Amino acid sequence: MQKRILGKTGLEVSALGYGCMGLDFSYGHKLSKDDGIILIRQAVDLGVTFFDTAEVYGPFTNEKMVGDALRPVRERVVIATKFGFNIVDGKMAGLNSRPEHIKQVADASLKRLGIEQIDLFYQHRVDPDVPIEDVAGAVKELIAAGKVKHFGMSEPSAATARRAHAVQPIAALQNEYSLWTRGVETNGVLELCEELGIGLVPYSPLGKGFLTGAMSKDTKLGQGDFRAMLPRFTPEAMAHNQALVDLLKQIGIEKDATPAQIALAWLLAKKPWIVPIPGTTRLNRLKENLGAANIALTADDVTRIENAAAAIQIEGDRYPAQLQAMVGR
């Protein structure tokens, strides 16, 4: 597996990471803890060194699974987790990035993961009630204490990230980025990463499964699958957006690759400091995703893909209003 450096902080990770959320959270189906541990360790054997979790996934169960899986290979992997939600009685109850809460979350995450230092600690969503300088300052103190190695943010505005970076250098921003969610190209985030030397970690790089080609307007989402609340996953939107999958399939035929591999290879070709973190619960899909690292798209390939994609008007917002309001602050 090729390696990449996230930002100027020297954080080296595999070119493709592993988003662990879906192993037991959000998609209406979950692996047992034992099966999740097996799959995570298979990812390590296949060369993945970058694993992403969060306290809110479960809540808490995902961190325990990831920690149990990775402790035996701790020296070979980078573990990222997140703070920023208020969790009450096992449910999200708003945001909370008060400095004292951040420090409590760090201690709790370290305990669940069973490790001595969090490699990358993201603010999960910007809390408008807490100055971002205070948030960055709290993480700076955790770094000084040896509990955290690197600071990250998920879905901030470019302006907010710049202010945080001035207090504590940011190693990586985690934003949704894929061929059907390209906001970072126009909202200043991509330019900020280039300017300040910050890595970009695209989550949902396969469009929450849609860009793999495994879904259609006839796909029935199971109970508890959060995609059922997303505007892009109505049958009508999926029927319309199938044109983008058809484009990926067409290019995949030419490159002897799957639609998922083309979608990931496109991201990898954009910048050398972009590290997508696709997730899956299946070994065959894991292998397929990692195969994208071996597909070299030329600049002409990238331009062609983008020109073709630009002609396809994506139907449906990526989030309903209440979730969209939490990004880009």
H helix intervals, the chain: 33-45, 61-70, 99-113, 132-144, 158-167, 189-196, 235-255, 259-270, 283-290, 299-310, 321-324
State the burial class of residue 10 (Cβ atoms within 10 Å of its Cβ: 0-12, 13-18, 19+): exposed
Rounded alpha-carbon distances, angstroms, from residue 91 to 19, 23, 54, 112, 300:
21, 18, 14, 17, 47
**Nearest alpha carbon to residue 129 among 83, 93, 161, 97:** 97
Contacts 24+ apart (CB under 8 A), 240-243: 240/315, 241/180, 241/210, 241/312, 241/314, 241/315, 241/316, 242/216, 242/217, 243/312
Chain CA centroid to CA 142, Å: 23
φ/ψ region of 230 (left if φ > 0, alpha if ψ in -120 to 50, else beta) reads: beta
CA 72 to CA 30: how far, in whole Å? 23
List % helix, strand, coil for the chain (3-state, nearest 5): 50, 20, 35
Catalytic residues: 57
Rounded to the nearest 5°, which phi and psi values hold at 34?
-65, -40
Instruction: Order across the sheet with 50-52: list the strands.
Output: 18-19, 50-52, 78-83, 118-123, 148-154, 170-176, 199-203
